[in-house]
Structure 1
Amino acid sequence: MKHGLMLFTDSFGSDAPSTDVLGWALTYAAEAERAGWDEVWTTEHHFTSAVHTPSAIAMAAFLLGRTGLGVGTAVAVLPNHHPVALAEQTALLHHVGDGRFTLGVGRGQPRGDLEVFGDGLAGYRDISGRLALLESALRAGEFEDVRLVPDVPERPPLALSAASVPTARLAGQHGIPLILGPFVSLADKRAMLDAHAETAAGHGHRIDPADHIDSTYFAIADTTDAARELLIDGLRAQLLRGAPGTRSLVEQPELTAEGADAMARKLAANVVAGDPDECARQLREREELLGTGRIILMPEGAGSVEAVLTTVRRAGAEVFPGACRPA
């Protein structure tokens, strides 16, 4: 199992300038490499002070040069990008990163950036055409009669973020592995993987289950109760903050403190949190159930720079060795 660190560049609700927030993320990445993590993953959000990375691809390029870790995007928002442009950039990062780059794409969230860069709600709801074009361009190395430069001998690593069975089936149709969304229960993730396998086989694709990628929030503390409360507190605050500066494209009721608490506690049922031994046990359990070969862990949900660094540093020495299944 490869362990990847998500870099949300979360401001934790503060008014810290971008220089500080991005500096925190680079510190997390440096500590992850020292602590024995395998990968770092970047994300894409626009027009909000909650997180400070509008380009997953640009941040990934920087981290490929800054670290020796594998680097992925979770995700580049597919409706915001021309698929052939994404294919070109992926080919470039595949070469300059010596094969360490994974392009993860997804539909994103129904927010105003989709109107600025894409087709609004229509593009959010139906990503099938863009996904097919991206996969075809990466696999064939061309678009219509235009060759992609730089060329790649085979399709670089590509994955689709999914939180539902229909999206899992879409990925299976194109022979693309999944990034299993962090807000989905383990039972639902297993159902998504089964639907993906059935659809992939029906379209003639053979995909190693270890090519799929799990994702979850993550916290370590001296006791399991303390770790879970740390994540519940952080997720509750995150939900109440929302994404200031952006607007939703779908009508949503205002979230109350009680509603945020209930949602945080529901989310906490699907995370990896505990003392080091408990975290290792939960990672082994997920690997046994899902069979994924990689997992993206998200410690920024714990709500502070200090909590993130504690989890990043302790994970390599105290959790990952115990999470390895016996050969």
Structure 2
Amino acid sequence: MEQLWKGRFDGDGAADLRLWQVVKDFDPSLKSSGICFVGYNTDDGVRRNLGRPGAKDGSNAIRAALQSLPNIENLPIYDYKNLSSEILEEAQKEYAEKIGNILHSGLFPIGLGGGHDIAYGSYLGIRSFYKNETIGIINFDAHLDMRPYEHGGTSGTSFKQILDSDANVKYAIVGFKKQGNTKRLLDTAKKYNVLIFDEEEVDIDETEVILSLKKYINTVDIVYITFCMDVFDAAQAPGVSAPTVMGLNPKKAKRIVRELFKTDKVVCIDFAEVNPVYDVDNRTAKLAGALIYDIMLHRRHK
């Protein structure tokens, strides 16, 4: 664990502890409450989608952004480490097994990516545990990621793969950008009844978006939230595979996520496309870390 977590040291007293000092290795036989990180350290799907490689190191960059933050009392924290394979299909299978094990243990999984093909792995892990429930996916993303996959999956195919294989899933996207999606992708989304919230719509009134999302959540049993960090403006998230001009405001996203967690239906969340190669002062990793920390503060009250 010391290879993944190390940070500032102020002392061993309870009042001095930071996250790196309290994170423990995850064991599949564990039964506990709290949260568990798992790294999706591959950008094979990004390469296949002709994106900028580098996201394979995103999981460790997010850990580094979190490691020196203050400990959160009454919140057990575990880490299931990174994957053994970077080949897309093998990575998704291994990652799905880890998500299933975390859910079985009673912990809340937080995925650290890696390409946004992490979403298909998260779905498979969730479905292995929640076999019959209706899953509501909420994707914070500038792109629909509903491309065809006749020649194999990529970082841009996950949600079409999910919807094609499972009629008991609904899909909503927050932060959508028109300039990042072709007419064919929009037509595909319409075919699958995707609920779309444009970035500008969120910027004008996030309260209305929250109300609409809560109505959406009322129609499902459980919720899976996934972040593609390119949903945010490139000034705040430059280290991604496909930077977005005039992207989503991070504070608005944080407030929306807080409200989604109040429904008590969120069972998994992940953060994808953190690309340290193109990051500036670790800005993107720090943003992911800040969002995760806010979620951890919520989980403390469980």
- Per the normalisation by structure 1, the TM-score is 0.38
Higher helix content, 1 or 2:
1
Rg larger in 1 or in 2?
1
- Per the normalisation by structure 2, the TM-score is 0.40
